[in-house]
Structure 1
């Protein structure tokens, strides 16, 4: 009489063992998904994070609906510089209250989890994106009415300002406090930036501690893919404060 078929472990069986194969496949899938989520969370926490652009304040550099990647290495191991495009947490009162779209509890939970681990871009509920014009100690000024912006007494030519916009319609003259940044949008006449918060604590500047990181690439939509380069030549003539 032929011997009964055995499984790979030597136990009697039917030879195919679909139940065992399904169990192994399920375990492997769970491990792969858990590893991917953990890796995504680590990357989002320490290296990169995606953000969604909700407004026109940075046109034409960034437009509504763009998704950008932000490096979290600056500020931190790397320094931020004049001309960098940065994402920062609202210092307080810069953003209007956000009315969240109604979602089912499951959809809301799923969105929150995927955003938390970095698989969905962060929305703009408490974050803004602007360009650094002044570093701590810099004197940043404009006479308004279309007059150019000066940094430490040097007029800067700003190629990133949206075509048809003027450098500033608002007059200001400030020295950026230690540990803070002066930020402005590229779409100057449609940007509620540092100029419009002169009466706030900090005189319109943004604490460096509020900065999430520096935007370095537009990743979506695909036809908008582009590197966000720092316009270094713009600020080369500016002396240290």
Structure 2
């Protein structure tokens, strides 16, 4: 074989090798890439809503001063996975147990776009309430001591820092029931239930409003005042909007000293 023959063979093999290499992958058209990205984003949003986070808004004045009407909040669900349940002092979002909301408060977003976004957790939904857990299973809640404070298992709950100021008509921390004209007691809280109240006690139709009224309801059956824990969506952990008031939502230290129910 001559040198020319060898060169010809090498050249042929080289060209064959190049021709056998896989070609460059064809890039998707822009419109197809956009649809694919939207599908991935939608899938992630559905998973996040189902397992981790969900957006809500504050529907009333009941949680002032910390959370104001129409504030946007984020709720995380991880804290209540498995056997974990709401703790005293948690601010929770829960589905209406039945009759707690009027038709206007229960209504969700009106526009089709907002409704679609609400289904995947990107827009607040209706039919939910936001309150603070005051009592858990076994607890007894009383109103009030000589300083007008709510007691849980005999320990007074100091409202400084998270409760709205008391109204002129009521000198206690549970006035919406009867403007502090008489004391009341709730509990022991049944298993799988929580007792909730708003931080703005004078404007909160909470567990205390759904109790039997002493001396006024002869056939009232106790129970509707306690919220089933399986209706709890999750724990509020951040005030997201308006941006100027962005803040973390935590558990007041006053609840740490509450003794366990005997």
TM-score for both structures, normalised by structure 1 = 0.82
Shift of 1:145: 9.5
Partner of 1:173: 185
> Runs of 4 or more off by more than 3 Å in structure 1?
99-103, 143-146
Partners of 1:102 and 1:217 in 2: how far apart? 22
Q: Who is 2:244 aligned against?
A: 223
Structure 2: gaps (5+ residues):
1-22, 178-182, 213-220
RMSD over aligned Cα atoms? 2.5
Give the 3-state SS of the residue equivalent to 1:219 in structure 2.
strand
Match of 1:3 in 2: none
Tell me what 2:4 maps to: none
Residues matched between the structures, number: 217
Does residue 96 of structure 1 match 2:102?
A: yes
Cα deviation 1:131-154 (Å, max 9, x = unaligned): 000011101111489721111111
Q: Measure, in 2, the Cα distance between the counterparts of 1:51 and 1:144.
A: 35
Distance verdict in 2 for CA 1:109–1:148, change over 3 Å: same
Shift, 1:73, TM fit: 1.6
Calculate the TM-score normalised by the size of structure 2: 0.76
Counterparts of 1:102-113 in structure 2 under 5 Å? 108-113=111-116
* SS of equivalent to 1:74: helix
Paired residues for 1:86-165 under 5 Å: 86-98=92-104, 108-122=111-125, 125-143=126-144, 147-159=148-160, 160-165=162-167
Write out aligned runs for 1:179-218 (5 A). 179-199=192-212, 202-218=223-239
Counterparts of 1:213 and 1:118 in 2: how far apart (Å)?
A: 13
| 1:238 CA displacement | 1.4
Which residue of 38, 42, 53 corresponds with 1:37?
A: 42
Q: For 1:194 and 1:144, locate their aligned partners in 2 and report how far apart those are by CA, in whole Å.
A: 19
| CA distance in structure 2 between the partners assigned to 1:201 and 1:153 by the alignment | 21
